[in-house]
Amino acid sequence: MARRIIFHVDANSAFLSWTAAHRVKVLGEALDLRDVPSVIAGDKASRHSIILAKSAPAKKYGIQTGEPLFQALEKCPNLIVAPPDYELYVEASRHFVEMLRQFSPQVEQYSIDEAWVDMTGTQRIYGDPRLAAEQIRERIWNELGFTVNVGISTNKLLAKMAGDLEKPNKVHTLYPEEMETKMWPLPVRDLFLVGAATEQKLKAFGIYTIGDLAKADVSVIRKRLGKHGETIWHFANGRNAEMVTPEAAENKGYGNSITTVKDVASREEAHRVLLSLCETVAMRMRKDGQYGSCIAINLRTCDFRHYSHQRLLSNATNITTIIFEEACKAFDEGWDGQPVRQLGVQVTRLAKESYQQYDFLSGISPVQYEKKLRLDETVDSLRDKFGEEIIVRAKFSKDTESHMAGGLSKARRTGVTKPVPDEF
């Protein structure tokens, strides 16, 4: 039986690289943002703006992804700040994944800038896995204009760990027989799914490296950290049986998620974030004439534990307030009070029509439902014509920056897209 070969391909400093590549290859600019101290961030006048990506020269000033922009400017007053272009990033990501599929049909996108590729059995086509990885790296640079790291191993976990060993623009292997020398000496925080809180708990009982965790008694780890502890113990030993799962071509739902600037520690804060996400999800559904009857929320805690929960409706809907109310109920039913760093909302079980009858639980009649729908459609029309800030719910009257969240630009959310060249 052939040994499984899995690649993890990760774009280096994706948002900055994609912005720089577009400016150089498409707009013809002489200055490459990757060669100077530069960052991708929002409005320089806002103290809430954070660093989304940084160049290697900016890193030398101690600038970190996620830190406030005003702090970065204090470290480097001449820092070049470029605004994010989410529409461009979506297109760049699409080209990135399409190129990976030219090497193997088994591609699983993990995030906008990274994916796993199952290369098992392709040695007869590309030769040694390292040679195949170099081909991928070189083609992405030559044709798309940005660099990637490629990690190679026998499962998804070790491939991802391999890709993180040294950056940028590198190819690394981390086969099971290499774990002891390449992975076990690393700090335990470098292990996938070990966050700051988990790191401190592990250090409290003498576990400082991944090797320390791998050699620990799993029963002790499970007792102190629960199921998550057992999971990361298996990870420390290189065990991960998940297959590379290509995404289905057909869109079966609408969703948005956001990683918050700071941990969300109260139910009221969480509900505000959920409302901002429901605004964009419901707006897209109405534009496409879609209704959904399954409302799901997913969250990731500050120590990277994941939770999801869903609620089923008797009638499909695309009304913002109804989706929001169900999302809040789903959140309240499952949240254990731990600070949350990421929140998402998804609507599935789609339908092209919605048949409304009197709902005794909500008290909403078909007439009331129709009024809510007309109101939402009017708000959509006004926002599309005059901008998203033309109408803001009272909950966001003191913070208009966050009233519509979810990552994509207005143009992308409303479906108004511009043609993007193959080089994006």
User: Confidence class of residue 155 from pLDDT cuts 50, 70 and 90?
Assistant: very high
pLDDT at 424 over 60: no
pLDDT band with cut points at 50, 70 and 90 for residue 197: confident
Contact in structure between 379 and 386 (CB atoms under 8 Å): no
- Look at residue 149 in the predicted model and tell me its pLDDT: 97
Q: Calculate mean pLDDT across residues 192-211.
A: 92
- Per-residue pLDDT band for 315 (boundaries 50, 70, 90) equals confident
Residue 332 has pLDDT above 60, yes or no: yes
Q: Which one from 87, 91, 108, 114 is the annotated catalytic residue?
A: 114
Q: What is the three-class DSSP state of 274? A: helix
- Residue 127 and residue 142: Cα distance in Å, rounded? 21
Beta strands in 32-183 (DSSP E): 38-40, 53-54, 80-82, 107-111, 114-118, 148-153, 171-173
Cβ(347)–Cβ(292) below 8 Å: yes
Most confident of 160-164, 243-247, 262-266, 374-378: 160-164
Which tens digit of pLDDT belongs to each residue from 166-184? 989 999 999 999 999 999 9
Q: Quick check: 135 pLDDT over 90?
A: yes
Task: Say which residue the tokens 């030993």 belong to.
Answer: 237
Checking if the pLDDT of 220 tops 90, the result is yes
Return the pLDDT at 323.
94
114: annotated active-site residue: yes
Q: What is the CA radius of gyration of the chain?
A: 23
Q: Is the pTM of this model over 0.85?
A: no
Instruction: Evaluate if residue 128 carries a pLDDT over 80.
Output: yes
Chain segment 158-170, per-residue pLDDT in tens: 999 999 999 899 9
Which H or E run includes 255?
strand 253-264
How high is the pLDDT of residue 43? 66
Indicate the SS3 state at residue 242.
coil
Domain annotation for the chain: domains and CATH numbers: 1-167 (3.30.70.270), 184-236 (1.10.150.20), 253-414 (3.30.1490.100)
pLDDT band at residue 260 under the 50/70/90 scheme: confident
pLDDT at 417: 33
pLDDT at 41 over 60: yes
Q: Check whether 250 has a pLDDT greater than 60.
A: no
Q: What is the C-alpha separation between 403 and 424, in angstroms, rounded?
A: 29
| Predicted local distance difference test score (pLDDT) of residue 358 | 45
pLDDT score at 65: 87
